[in-house]
Copies of this chain bind each other. A is one copy, B any other.
Amino acid sequence: DVLTIPKDDAVAFTFFTGYMAMLAASIFFIFERGRVDDKWKLSLLISALITFIAAVHYYYMRDYYLATGENPTSLRYIDWTLTVPLMCVEFYLLTKAAGAKIGLLWKLIIASVWMLVAGYIGEAFNPEGGDTTHSVLWGFLSTIGYIYVLYTAWFGEVAKLAAASNNPVVKRGVRTLAWFVLVGWAIYPIGYMCMPGGWLNTAFGWGSGNVDLFYNIADAINKIGFGLVVYSIAITSSRK
């Protein structure tokens, strides 16, 4: 009953490094939180919670994947149900310095919950063997929620508030946030399209193991990477 990781299984490899990286990141954010100014402490705590929640779910996902070789779809969406709204809180906290109201947070949360519910139906209830109609329909509906967040970050409320602000730290933070939503978040739909019936699966024969490969890479970028960006902004602005 010992843990054996096949040497040529990149998905298993990323589940393991993912687990440990999330745990290490949450320890990092918690300890470094003591070194930033008071106004940044909440953001660092949210980063720590996002990575800690993910560490626990990665622990279960890697075992599930090793034992069954299947995508741990339920666990993945259980994780996102908690971490994506927290990510919206993170975005809101950054924008708050430029004058954002609490309503912005709710709009981001509603759009991203819509995105996740549609995505879950698309993945979890994908008919046996995969069906392109099903995955494209629900993927499309999910993408509407994603596009809303993307629009808000680049042209909508978030962008406008940042443009009107004369705080360079806030401007820089919001610009980075917008890039993460554009590039980092876009890796998830690529993963989605690798499931049976998905476009990348039918077109290029990318197997369904790649779903988790992309999700794991994207999670590392968005949960740890974005957390580190917030940390570096916090530590720089605390030094002055």
Contacts and interface: CB of A to CB of B under 8 A. Distances in A.
A60 B24 contact: no
Interface string A171-209: 000000000000000000000000000000000000000
User: Chain A's interface: helix, strand, loop or mixed, by majority?
Assistant: helix
B53 A20 contact: yes
Interface stretch (A28-36, A132-140, A162-170): A28-36
A179 to B, nearest CB: 18
A229 interface: no
Given A8-B124, A75-B5, A45 B64 contact: no
Interface stretch (A66-74, A90-98, A150-158): A66-74
Interface string A72-91: 01110010011000000000
Interface of A: 2-8, 12-13, 16-17, 20-21, 23-24, 27-28, 30-33, 35, 38, 41-42, 45, 48-49, 52-53, 56-57, 60, 63-64, 67-68, 73-75, 78, 81-82, 124-125
